[in-house]
Amino acid sequence: MTGRRSEVREPQQDRSRATRQRLLESTIELLAVHGWAGSTVAEVAEHAGVSRGAAQHHYPTREDLITGALEYMFDGRMTELRGGAAEIGAGPSRTLHVVQGVVDHFTGNLFKAALQVWTAAAADEQLRARIVPLEAKFGRHAHRTTIEMLGADDADPVVHTLVQATLDMARGLGLADVLTDDSARRERIVRQWADTLHTALDSAGAGRSRP
């Protein structure tokens, strides 16, 4: 009997997981393309091909859906970033690869969706209370991932601050790409910054712990 029950439960769990995934991916896409006003629960459910009732079963409020989507996509991007970094060697090409990966992270649909949420949260106390701790977590996670990818020593205050600055610059480059395709200008900045960062990290003595 236990066997039969788990056979029945498994496919339903798979279906639920697939439904949630479609809802989360639709949320990010609609936020990025149609903005805050164009991504209500009803619109997300329709885009995902899910009934509104089913959407609300999984995510009772719009805030639940949006924070769930940001978290799901962020975790996925960080895993991808880490995976890509494992393949590369050491030296300046590694720094360039890491800066490029971090900047790519801030110029995709996830960033464009998050920007819509942050901007809405700036004038919405209730949403802000949900987003601020999530943002802090994303910030810490992105910092730790970048440090690991660089093989740098975060205990060195210069290294710590330069990696923070790199993430801030990547965020600024993301913002510059929202209304127009900024990729040509961005490529020059990524190359120059990777070069400057590599020199600065080396002279900070971070080179000692880098492979």
**Binding interface with a copy of itself (CB under 8 A):** 33-38, 112, 115-116, 118-124, 128, 131-132, 135, 158, 161-162, 164-165, 167-176, 178-180, 185, 188-189, 192-193, 196, 199-200
Specify the residue, 57 or 137, whose C-beta has the smaller distance to a copy of itself. 137
Q: Is 118 exposed, middle or buried (0-12, 13-18, 19+ CB in 10 A)?
A: middle
Specify the residue, 20 or 97, whose C-beta has the smaller distance to a copy of itself. 97
Least CB distance from residue 17 to a copy of itself, whole Å?
30
Cβ proximity of 31 and 116 under 8 Å: yes
72 phi and psi angles, rounded to 5 deg:
-60, -45
If you compute the radius of gyration of the chain from its CA atoms, what whole number of angstroms results? 20
- Write out the two tokens for 88: 């590369």
Least CB distance from residue 51 to a copy of itself, whole Å?
25
Least CB distance from residue 124 to a copy of itself, whole Å?
7
Specify the residue, 132 or 155, whose C-beta has the smaller distance to a copy of itself. 132
Cβ proximity of 81 and 100 under 8 Å: no
Least CB distance from residue 176 to a copy of itself, whole Å?
6
Specify the residue, 8 or 155, whose C-beta has the smaller distance to a copy of itself. 155
Least CB distance from residue 196 to a copy of itself, whole Å?
5
Cβ proximity of 105 and 81 under 8 Å: yes
Specify the residue, 66 or 170, whose C-beta has the smaller distance to a copy of itself. 170
Q: Is 152 exposed, middle or buried (0-12, 13-18, 19+ CB in 10 A)?
A: buried
Q: Is the dihedral of CA 172, 174, 178, 184 positive or negative?
A: positive
